[in-house]
Every structure is written in structure tokens, then in C-alpha cells.
Amino acid sequence: METLKATGLPVETASSGLTKFNRTTQNLEKTHLIDAACVGNSTPQALNIKGIKPLLIKASGHGNRKMCGTDKYGFPTRHRTNKQIHFGFQTGDIIKAVVTKGKKVGTYIGRVLCRATGSFDISTKTGRVEGISHKYCSPIHGKDGYSYGA
């Protein structure tokens, strides 16, 4: 506690009873987000949470280390390359693809599944779009081991 005070930032401690008191006096429902806003004496008298939607973050990892796929008996059937970045993208990046020619004309935003050929798949909210050229893609967010939702 003393090391926190040494930073010069305000430090406040609270109990679960005070959190519940702050929440019930304002007639708020019990959720993790609202409890976090109602902790301690610094809770505002009128907490306006209408229209606030939390960002859902889930740890999804960076893939696996398997360099060889096996069949049901354990014998190797396919091998992966060491190279993970293709045409400046890697699997898991969030991209925007604006396709102007071909069968799949449109704008797609989602996670990319990269291939060395340059033909990418994009997982969007509505489903998976296959065979989008890397030329139509532009990065929005690099893969960082988390998946984000609304």
C-alpha cells in the first residue's frame, strides 16, 4: 500500500458491502461492469451507464507449435512451413478487404487466414469468405493473441 501511495496517484480501498450499497442506492443491476464502476467512496452520485457496451476480450493464443499434422495412427501426413508472414499478413490479423473485381465484389472486415499463394480467407461476422487476393487487403490490427467482440 505504501508503494502505491509513493506513486502520487490517489489510492482508495473499499469493501464488497460498500460496492453493493453504491449499486443498490442507484437501482443498478448486478453485473461485473457495474460493480467495477461502483467500488469505493469515489462512486458518482448519478452513474449514467445507458448506451455503454463493454468490449469483450478473450485470450486466444498465438496458435500452436505443431510443424507436422498426423493421421489417426500418429503418422505424419502434412508439414507446415516455418514462414508465418505472407505478403505482409499473418493468420489472425484483422483486415479490411475491398474487392473491386470478380465474383466476390464487396467490402469484408474480419480475421484473415493466410496462405503462401496469396489467396486468403476472411472470417467475418456473417461467415467465411474464401479466395480473396492479398492485393485487396489492408491491415486494421495485427495478431496479438486476443480476440475482440462487441
The CATH code of the domain at 68-149 is 2.30.30
**Residues paired with 69 in a beta bridge:** 78
91: nearest Cα among 54, 66, 122, 70: 122
| % of the chain beyond a pLDDT of 70 | 99
pTM equals 0.60
Residue with the three cell numbers 478473450: 58
> Which three cell numbers, joined as nine digits, stand for 138?
489492408
Q: Where are the domains of the chain?
A: 2-54, 68-149
Spell out where 12-64 has E strands. Answer: 56-59
How far is residue 34's CA from residue 12's CA, in Å, rounded to a whole number? 18
Instruction: Give tens-digit pLDDT for 37-87.
Output: 888 887 778 888 788 888 888 888 877 777 788 899 999 988 877 778 889
Higher pLDDT, 50 or 96: 96
| % of the chain beyond a pLDDT of 90 | 29
61: nearest Cα among 145, 142, 144: 145
pLDDT at 14 (0 to 100): 82
